[in-house]
């Protein structure tokens, strides 16, 4: 699966990853079903690259990020990071790998412990992984705060003394503490005001070029994903329906879902907005407990045919580097 030029410098390989959450019912808590949150996805991320992962709420994009980091242990499939298989790692070995991969969370109000000072929060990863002495930690925290654009003298303050944008900077500093090579950014800006979003995105971009970081950037905001990503994957109901370089994906979307999603994004320009064609999808996303047979998108798809209900379309490379899971993608070539 997913062989995008094997010579490339690949940091992360995800192959047929599945994450099903069991549903238990009744007195004896029998398993009656499962939420198919992630249902067989494959992709690679190259070193220094930003892969954008977009989709609507409940499509499994956050679960994907968490499963890659082994915060959830996957149902099946493999995750190779730096040629090490994370799925079968345990205990100290896994902890050791975790230094190299970190996460920035969506809600800067919930992801920082209100009883800890900023110095404790940012220094905690260093302490947990016992990579530095107390004095070194102190210096490193000062350095990290300066790096993310916070005044180092704020280190003894508590999270409630900061605004949303500043808190997200603290989250970024914490993620950087162990000098990781890979960061999962799980909707890092969607809880922030518009004028603050740009500040945080610019910071992430600066840090990336400074430390050659690799990002998995999870978001539902297609315009921000376009701005920050090198390649973009579109998820729908637990599967990736399309993956391509950002220019190609936005200029020539081939999956009907991607096309609908892109046409639904409002453009902040009344002239351009009135000129384009809008494709409005009917209905809502079906439940991942009982996803539709065959193609997941067929219940809302404007071009679905009988075959879409019968078999699941293969996630195939239709053009070099452009993957799509649709029987009729050629129509839009």
Partner 1 sequence: MPDFILDVQGLETTFRTPDGVVHAVNGVSFGLAEGETLGVVGESGCGKSVTMLSVLGLIPSPPGKVEAGKAIFGGQDLLKMSNEEIRHVRGAQIAMIFQDPMTSLNPVLTIGRQLEEPLMLHIGMSKNQARERAAELLTMVGIPNAKERLNDYPHQYSGGMRQRVMIAMALSCSPQILIADEPTTALDVTIQAQITDLVKRLRDELGMAIIWITHDLGVVAGLAQRVLVMYGGYIIEQAQVKELYANPEHPYTIGLLGSLPRVDETVRTKLYSIEGQPPVLYQKPNACPFAPRCKWALEHCWNENPPLLEVGPDHRAACWVDTKTGRHR
List interacting residues with partner 1 (CB under 8 A). 56-57, 163, 165, 193-199, 201-202, 205, 220, 222-224, 226-227, 250, 260-274, 278, 280-281, 284-285
Measured CA angle at 61 (ends 313, 296), to 5 deg: 25
Is the Cβ of residue 226 or residue 255 nearer to partner 1 in the bound state? 226
CB of 168 to partner 1, least distance (A): 12
Is the Cβ of residue 76 or residue 163 nearer to partner 1 in the bound state? 163
Is the Cβ of residue 38 or residue 59 nearer to partner 1 in the bound state? 59
* Sequence-distant (≥ 6) Cβ neighbours of residue 260 within 8 angstroms: 279, 280, 281, 302
CB of 68 to partner 1, least distance (A): 23
- Residue bearing tokens 């979003």: 197
Is the Cβ of residue 174 or residue 300 nearer to partner 1 in the bound state? 300
Residues belonging to the chain: 333
CB of 8 to partner 1, least distance (A): 21
CB of 226 to partner 1, least distance (A): 6
- Residue bearing tokens 């679960």: 63
Is the Cβ of residue 128 or residue 267 nearer to partner 1 in the bound state? 267
- Among 311, 192, 322, residue whose Cα is nearest residue 251: 322
- Among 282, 283, 287, 329, residue whose Cα is nearest residue 308: 329
Strands 10-25 and 30-46: antiparallel
CB of 314 to partner 1, least distance (A): 25
DSSP 151: -
- Among 90, 78, 98, residue whose Cα is nearest residue 17: 78
CB of 134 to partner 1, least distance (A): 33
DSSP 240: E
Is the Cβ of residue 14 or residue 261 nearer to partner 1 in the bound state? 261
């Amino acid at each position: 699966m997913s062989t995008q030029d094997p010579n490339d410098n690949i940091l992360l390989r995800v192959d047929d990853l599945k994450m099903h959450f069991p549903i238990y019912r009744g007195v004896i808590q029998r398993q009656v079903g499962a939420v198919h949150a992630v249902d067989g996805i494959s992709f690679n991320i190259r070193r220094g690259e930003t892969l954008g992962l977009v989709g609507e709420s409940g499509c499994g994009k956050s679960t994907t990020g968490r499963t890659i980091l082994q915060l959830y242990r996957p149902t099946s499939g493999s995750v190779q990071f730096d040629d090490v298989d994370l799925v079968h790692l345990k205990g100290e070995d896994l902890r050791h790998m975790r230094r190299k991969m970190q996460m920035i969370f969506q809600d800067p109000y919930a992801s920082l412990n209100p009883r800890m000072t900023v110095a404790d929060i940012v220094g905690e990863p260093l302490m947990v992984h016992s990579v530095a002495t107390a004095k070194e930690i102190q210096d490193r925290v000062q350095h990290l705060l300066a790096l993310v654009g916070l005044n180092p003298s704020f280190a003894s303050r508590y999270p409630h003394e900061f605004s949303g944008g500043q808190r997200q900077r603290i989250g970024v500093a914490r993620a950087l503490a162990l000098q990781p090579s890979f960061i999962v950014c799980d909707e890092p800006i969607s809880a922030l005001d518009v004028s603050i979003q740009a500040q945080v995105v610019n910071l992430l971009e600066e840090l990336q070029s400074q430390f050659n970081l690799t990002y998995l950037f999870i978001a539902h905001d297609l315009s921000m994903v376009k701005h920050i990503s090198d390649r973009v994957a579109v998820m729908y109901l637990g599967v990736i329906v399309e993956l391509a370089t950002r220019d190609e994906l936005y200029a020539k979307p081939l999956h009907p879902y991607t096309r609908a999603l892109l046409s639904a994004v409002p453009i902040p320009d009344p002239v351009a907005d009135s000129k384009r064609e809008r494709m409005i999808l009917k209905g809502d996303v079906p439940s991942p407990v009982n996803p539709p047979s065959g193609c997941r998108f067929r219940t809302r798809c404007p071009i679905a045919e009988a075959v879409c209900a019968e078999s699941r379309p293969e996630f195939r490379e239709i053009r070099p580097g452009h993957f799509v899971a649709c029987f009729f993608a050629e129509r839009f070539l």
